[in-house]
Chain A
Amino acid sequence: MGWLQTGVFLLVAASALGVVRTKDPLAQSVAVSFYGLVLALLFFLHQAPDVALSQIVVGAVALPLMILLALSKIHAQDEERKQAGEEERK
């Protein structure tokens, strides 16, 4: 294994830990995107271009997008709930 491959393997481990340690889901969506790109780089360096491509579209585009959309939906539900609570108090 060359030093480049070794380095990317270590980077994968570090970014996985980083994603898990990020407690705020909003920040996590960015971390997941980065992690997806690092994984794609790893696949590319290890002769797996097919998997690298699908990892890019899934890990760096589709996953963060779905997380952001889910968070915005949750935020909208929170607002609605708050509004309903205020109306009850009136």
Chain B
Amino acid sequence: MRTFLITAGAAGLAALLVWGLSGLPPFGSYPGPYGEVLNSFAVGERKATDVVSAVNFDYRAFDTMGEEFILFISVAGAALLLRKVEEEEHDSQEESESEDRQPGRAAPPTSDAIRAFGVALVGLTVLFGLYMISHGQTTPGGGFQGGVILATAPLSVYLAAEARTFQRIAPHDLVEWSESIAAAAYVVLGLAAVVGGAEFLRNVTPLGEEEKMGSSGNIFWLNLGVGVEVAGGFVLLLSVFIREALERRLRRESK
């Protein structure tokens, strides 16, 4: 019954989609003027050679603020949903203690090769993430991409079986605070223009020289803030998913 319904509905929708899509301009002949205008002005006006970044963090920076807060709220929501109540935590702690003693329950120790490789990867990951964030305005990349790359650094530490180190380099409070402060910094930078009498999120920082790090004024600083926020958000998300395994491992290490 359900298959019949969805097949009929999907067939109707498919017909509508094909009808609608055939009214679009043919592939390869985009007629819109906005793209042309931005392509010809963004480099001169904002010293940003990556026009996509210029659109995201300057011309449509208000939308990106919305996007950033979607990310912020959904991380908070996931953390809230997966948070354990104090009482429950107590119960499951006892249970997992007994689980640990069951045969076949404890994970085998991580091999030295994975440890060495995982730790060696951290420096490279951090460097690449920072490069990606700081060069968002000149070459492809930016805060969102670089932030996720940065967030994988603590993860590879975790995978290299250094549960204690994971907690030391990414303590929960620090991650939470830096995420929130970075998210707020976006709004503060936007309001700085308002204080100066201009529109919200108008460029207030020096534009610098094109094709150089730190150029393009606000685009660079907003990328930096978004990078920290995204990295913090993903680390937070990962740590709420792996918290139980982490606790179990920490107990085993302290034994």
List A residues at the B interface (Cβ < 8 Å): 1, 49-54, 57-58, 61-62, 65-66, 69-70, 72-73, 76, 79-80, 83
Contact = CB atoms under 8 A, between A and B. Distances in A.
A1 B148 CA distance: 33
B233 to A, nearest CB: 11
Which interface residue of B27, B50, B132, B148 has the most chain A CB atoms within 10 A? Answer: B148
B244 interface: yes
Given A50-B140, A53-B140, A53-B141, A83 B95 contact: yes
Interface in B56-99: 82, 92, 95, 99
B126 interface: no
Contact of B50 (A1, A50, A58, A73): A50
Contact of B238 (A50, A52, A65): A65
B216 interface: no
Contacts of A50: 50, 52-53, 140-142, 145
Contacts, number: 45
B177 interface: no
26 contacts: A1-B27, A49-B140, A50-B50, A50-B140, A50-B141, A51-B52, A53-B140, A54-B144, A54-B145, A54-B148, A57-B148, A57-B149, A58-B148, A61-B148, A61-B152, A62-B148, A66-B237, A69-B238, A69-B242, A70-B241, A72-B245, A73-B82, A73-B241, A76-B244, A80-B92, A80-B95
A51 B155 CA distance: 24
Main secondary structure of the interface of A (DSSP, over half): helix
Given A54-B144, A83-B99, A73 B244 contact: yes
Contacts of A73: 82, 241, 244
Contacts of A83: 95, 99
A83 B144 CA distance: 42
Contacts of B144: 54
B10 to A, nearest CB: 12
Interface in B234-255: 234, 237-238, 241-242, 244-245
Nearest to B27: A1
Contact of A69 (B50, B145, B148, B241): B241
Contacts of A49: 140
B28 interface: yes
Nearest to A1: B27
A40 to B, nearest CB: 11
Nearest to B92: A80
B145 A53 contact: yes
- Sorted nearest first, the 7 A-B pairs with minimum C-beta distance are A69-B241, A49-B140, A57-B148, A50-B52, A50-B140, A53-B145, A54-B145
A17 B29 CA distance: 29
Contacts of B27: 1
A16 B27 CA distance: 21
A72 B144 CA distance: 27
Nearest to B141: A53
Which interface residue of A53, A72, A76, A80 has the most chain B CB atoms within 10 A? Answer: A53
A12 to B, nearest CB: 15
Contact of B28 (A1, A57, A80): A1
A83 B142 CA distance: 47
